[in-house]
A and B are shown apart, each in its own frame.
Chain A
Amino acid sequence: MALDLDGDISDEALLVAYGNGDRQAALALTTRLTPRVLGFACRMLGGDRAEAEDVAQEAMLRLWKQAPDWRQGEAKVTTWLYRVVSNLCIDRLRRHRSVDIDAIPEPEDGAAPVTERLIAEDRARALIAALATLPVRQRQAVTLRHIEGLANPEIAEILGISVEAVESLTARGKRALATALAPRREELGYE
């Protein structure tokens, strides 16, 4: 199977090919899924890059183990992976009790950011710090809905709750974020 970086072949087809011994499929799945897994883990763990890399590696390892027993048509590969990452992150958060918010670099005071990239980085850091203050379930729901861009039914499947519960979690999470970030509106570039 040719290396498929653009996504013409479904994740599931690639996983089945991997399970049948196709090495190119492993390359394609690695490049396609690792960034998504890492990004989600990083946001769930308050921006802790090292922890997020460990989670990403462990989640992908579990995917490789699952491949020979993968039951086609039952769940999307990404849904399954998000669930694994979610559980791994919860385990780590429980172990550490709380995310060290002080470890997240604060936006610099004083001079205004000079590029859009810097503004985006400042905003992303502020958001991750605020997300880290939310209850874990709200953090998961808001991240999956508004950053990962998943639909509510898929989030419900990942979290093992109803669609209505997802809607409630995201609404409460967003309200909490809006309140938590209000004092920082000027440094975020809002009037």
Chain B
Amino acid sequence: MNERNIRELDDSELDLLFEAARDTSPLPSPDLLARVLAGAEALQPGPPEPAAPAAAPGGRGASAGLFAGLLAAVGGWAAVAGLATATLAGVWIGYAHPDLAAGWAVAPSTEVVYDLSDFEPRYDDFTPLMEGS
């Protein structure tokens, strides 16, 4: 084809290219989402100060104490942020790459069967050491 005779793309042909660009838009990796969330966590202003806990058992103070205890048990806010990030990554993978998640879901789990004896030490395990000495 002579270059001078090459026909320019018309509007409908360009529109198909724009549509293709939208359809193949890059998805953020779980790592990027985790970094963005870490930034949010680091820069977020603290929540309003809670009211002083009441001393009476079973009252608001007790539930706040229970929550604080649970928080401490899982490692504090930093651990909660980690859990949230991991959850988000899972949600994102399921949303953006359902075929990948499906692949994990059907992964065979019983094809390889181990016996207790497989984990016992054997003389073979020490042969290279003996030969090397």
- With A20-B48, A35-B28, A182-B9 in contact, is A26–B21 under 8 Å at CB? no
For B25, the chain A residues whose CB sits under 8 A away are: 35, 39, 42
Choose one: A23, A64, A121; the contact of B39 (CB below 8 Å): A64
- With A30-B40, A31-B88, A185-B7 in contact, is A190–B24 under 8 Å at CB? no
Contact A177–B36 (Cβ < 8 Å): no
For B3, the chain A residues whose CB sits under 8 A away are: 183
Contact B21–A64 (Cβ < 8 Å): no
CA A126 to CA B16, docked complex, whole Å:
12
Contact A27–B23 (Cβ < 8 Å): no
CA A128 to CA B17, docked complex, whole Å:
10
For B35, the chain A residues whose CB sits under 8 A away are: 57
Report the contact-size class of chain B (Cβ under 8 Å from the partner). 35 or more
Shortest C-beta distance, A171 to chain B (Å), equals 11
B contact face: mostly helix, strand, loop, or mixed:
helix
Within 8 A of B (CB), among A136-191: 146-147, 149, 174-175, 177-179, 181-183, 185, 188, 190
A contact face: mostly helix, strand, loop, or mixed:
helix
Contact B24–A65 (Cβ < 8 Å): no
Minimum CB distance partner of B25 in chain A = A39
Interface centre among B6, B15, B25, B41 (most CB of A within 10 A): B25
- Besides the known contacts A181-B17, A183-B3, 5 further A-B residue pairs in the complex with CB atoms under 8 A apart: A20-B47, A34-B28, A34-B32, A35-B27, A182-B6
Residues on A lying within 8 angstroms of B by beta carbon are: 5, 18-23, 26-27, 29-31, 34-35, 38-39, 42-43, 49, 52-53, 56-57, 60-61, 64-65, 67-68, 117, 119-121, 123-124, 126-128, 146-147, 149, 174-175, 177-179, 181-183, 185, 188, 190
